[in-house]
Amino acid sequence: MSADEKSPSPAKSAEDIASFIQPVYDIRSFEEDRLRSKFDKRIMPLVCSVSLCFLDRVNVGFASVAGLQKSLGLEGVQYNIGLTCFYTTAAVFSSPNNLLGKHFGMGRWLAGCTLGFGICCMCSAFVRNYGEFCLVRTLLGICEGGVLPGIAFLLSKFYRRQELTYRHVFDPFCTLVNFMIFSGVLGPVLASQNIGAAVGGLIASGILKIDHIGSLKSWRNIFLIEGLITTVVAIGVFILVVDSPIQATWLTEDEKILAVRRLESEYPAVNEAAQHTRKQTIRAGLLNINAWLVALAFFFINVALQGAAVFLPTIIATLFPEKTAIQKQLLSVPPYFLGAIVQITSPYISMRMDIRSPFMIFHACVGAIAYAILVGSKSLHARYAACFLVAAGPFTFGTFSHGLVAINTSPDPTRVVALGVLSSMGQLGGIVSTWTYVASDAPGYHRGNTLNLAGMIAVIVLIVGTMVHMKWENAQRDHGKRDYRLNGLTPIEESQLGHRHPKFRYKI
């Protein structure tokens, strides 16, 4: 070996590893403020635009109100079966999508999934029968399966753990840009299913005023136009997105170093070798107890959340049967916008306080109150008010769940798998949601609302359990009871411990 060749780095001492525990840079430092500002302006608009995928979860509900089931001749539970096809394939393909995204580059993989989603959404405008409806819903699920966990993983390559949850909502600047671009006025944003749903309602209402586009009329125009928007955005994202700060041509060399070092400071002893996918890192993601507790909670949340996303227009329509189709669409918009406001402010406060679990418990309690009203009240005004609470409760929970799992799993392959587990459980909840509001239970939907009330109680128990376990595990590490994990390990093996490393601390 020549003198100018670098020898392998020696194993880090305990003191060296400990230096990684606390951030090297103050989160409010000028350099980081400037770096975050660049990320917010360059990454967030692209990632926010990917959330156009969420439009289809609600536009199928709006299309149903506008006559989809009658046009296709759907009878009994055939509509629910079609919705189940979507969530089934989305659940199955969540983890494979994420692993493929890590291999090929998450940014462009997300753009590809979004492009496929947009094309399939446009194809929905041309379905003629029950079989074609189920086929298109199945293909939509394949494309959508990896979107949410992929977004969470991509953001974790740019933002600190404390910053991450709020970025799962959106940056206010990005919101304004999206509002101005899409539909001339408004646009959906990352993880903001409330805004996506509200925008979907506004767009759907406007589209229904269009007599026809070629041979397509009524609800078919909803799928055609919104699918076209998604397709165009996907092409733009593919051209502009980057997978990590190192690839960003709009960062200086010093900014790239800062971007890498500030994330390294939060994950002790993790090096580049640990970022390669291996059996043990995949296993660590699959067997992560905290991820599973949050995933189970996300399952129950998604039963309520996806049920509301798809069926809320139908529920509101049963409350106001005398209204026209367009008026019913517009009545679904205010609850989503209230939820959007909560979904902005709650994660921001959470970021400033650097806690997540207590906020998740709070939003589950809001959801429990909402479903208790829907179960126990006969008043139309009270039941409509409960729809606002549903949008402000379960919808916001999803933002926290992906952030909580992303910041408490390491290294990257483990995080990818854990987020895939979370997303798959959420999609399974989506499958259940398609059967919570069936026509035979209208107009009160007592069984569906009772199920969701029980689900909210289960969520509260699971997140309290997660918080207690994380605090207990941190205490064990503080007292040196996990130091045995380092015995006999090489530096590479030590780096692969990720969140199981004795110096790693969970954030509640």
18 is a domain residue: no
20 is a domain residue: no
7 is a domain residue: no
Q: Residue 189 has what pLDDT?
A: 34
Q: Which residues contact 253 (CB under 8 A, 6 or more apart)?
A: none
Residue 43's alpha-carbon distances to 155, 158, 247, 382, in angstroms, are: 8, 9, 12, 41
9 is a domain residue: no
Question: Which pair of structure tokens corresponds to residue 499?
Answer: 């969140």
Q: What is the pTM of this model?
A: 0.69
Q: Residue 498 has what pLDDT?
A: 82
DSSP 242: -
Q: Residue 463 has what pLDDT?
A: 96
35 is a domain residue: no
Instruction: Provide the residue range defining the domain that includes 414.
Output: 44-244+266-500
Amino acid at 443: P
- Residues of the chain with pLDDT below 50 are 1-27, 170-194, 271, 273-274
Q: How far is CA 250 from the centre of its chain?
A: 27
Question: How many structural domains compose the chain?
Answer: 1
Q: How far is CA 11 from the centre of its chain?
A: 38
CATH code (residue 483): 1.20.1250.20
303 is a domain residue: yes
C-alpha 447/C-alpha 452 separation (Å) is 9
202 is a domain residue: yes
Q: How many CB atoms lie within 10 A of CB 444?
A: 15
Separation of first and last alpha carbons in the chain: 48
Q: Residue 182 has what pLDDT?
A: 31
C-alpha 230/C-alpha 123 separation (Å) is 13
Q: Residue 137 has what pLDDT?
A: 92
396 is a domain residue: yes
Burial 399-432 (b: 16+ CB within 10 A, else e): bbbbbbbbbbbbbbbbbbbbbbbbbbbbbbbbbb
Nearest by Cα to 349 from 75, 162, 134, 157: 162
